[in-house]
Each structure stands twice: as structure tokens, then as C-alpha cells.
Amino acid sequence: MEVGRMLEIVSDTPHETERIGSLAGEMLKNGDVVALSGELGTGKTTLIKGIAQGIGFDSGEVVSPSFTFINEYDGPLPLFHIDLYRLENEKELYEIGYEEYMQGDGVVVIEWADKVPHAVPEESLWITLRYLDAERREIIVTARGARYEKIIEHLRKKLYT
């Protein structure tokens, strides 16, 4: 664990990963952007299910947008789940209306954000998932902006006190 702008968390199970997402989701507000990176199978979609739950959705509603780039979940605080795994070039970003989502109403969560890091707003919450072993994951949460530091403090408080 580090103080301030970064928090390192070890998740022992997918359930814990979902809970971490839920705790972060509780703090998200209209206009927030969460950028996710990590190898295939590290739990990005599981984390997003938790984020959705924290916002107020049923986590069972959330699926990875396998054949589209974006899944939209309508609720009191809309959730836009953008999956860039199949992104072939940056031009496709603009064809799907990516910029409009960045300026729209709701929370935007971007899987595979590391494919186009310069397209993620300067102020955002970056979460990187890494394998530790078959079940355990290291989750590194980095705040880019004071707004997101509050989310890290919330996570630290809920997970470690």
C-alpha cells in the first residue's frame, strides 16, 4: 500500500475483486472515467461488475461487450462500459463516438485503456490488474487528479481499517 495517489491491493478471489470494484463504484460520480489495464483474464470484467454494483446496478447485468465496443447501462447514474480489446486502430475510437462518451452524462469505464492511453482524460482513475497466481491478483489503483484521490482514500478506509 502507498499513500496519496496510489494504492496497491491484493485480491485473493474473484469475489474480493468484485467487492473492490463495488467500493470504488460507491464513490463514482457523473463524468468520472475509470481506465483499466491488465492481461486477458486478470479480472477486469469482474472488477467492472463490482463497479456497476457500487453505482447501483445488479452486477449480473454487466457483460463484456464482446462484439461491440460499448455496452450502455441506463440507471440513475448511467454506466458506459467501453472494451477496446478488439480495437484495430485509433480511427475506430472516433467512429464509435468515443469523445461523446467522455463528455456525456454518466460514468465511463474503459477496458484495455492502455491501448490508447493518450485518449483517456488527464484526470481519471487508472486501475491495473496483474496475476500473482491462479486466483490472486495485484490491483494497483492510481489517481490522476484530486477527485480520484478521494476514491483511493475511501478504498483504503474500507479495506484496511
Which residue ranges form the domains of the chain, and what is each CATH number? Answer: 6-160 (3.40.50.300)
Q: What is each CA distance from 12 to 112, 135, 151, 159, in whole angstroms?
A: 22, 6, 21, 13
Q: What is each CA distance from 53 to 56, 83, 121, in whole angstroms?
A: 5, 18, 24
Asked if pLDDT for residue 2 goes beyond 50, the answer is no
Asked if pLDDT for residue 133 goes beyond 60, the answer is yes
Return the bridge partners of 7, or none. 141
Average pLDDT in the 27-47 region?
Answer: 95
Cα separation, 139 vs 132, in Å, equals: 10
pLDDT in tens, 46-86: 999 999 999 999 867 777 766 678 888 998 899 999 989 88
Q: What is each CA distance from 124 to 63, 107, 160, in whole angstroms?
A: 22, 11, 23
How much of the chain, in percent, has pLDDT values that exceed 70?
Answer: 95
So what's the pLDDT on residue 65? 66
Q: What strand order describes the sheet that includes 70-73? A: 6-11, 137-144, 124-131, 33-38, 107-111, 79-83, 70-73
So what's the pLDDT on residue 91? 82
Where is mean pLDDT largest: 6-10, 67-71, 113-117?
6-10
Cα separation, 50 vs 25, in Å, equals: 7
So what's the pLDDT on residue 67? 64
Q: Please report which confidence band the pLDDT of residue 89 belongs to, taking 50, 70 and 90 as the band edges.
A: confident
Average of per-residue pLDDT values in the chain: 90
The reported pTM is 0.92
Q: Please report which confidence band the pLDDT of residue 4 belongs to, taking 50, 70 and 90 as the band edges.
A: low
So what's the pLDDT on residue 6? 96
So what's the pLDDT on residue 3? 47
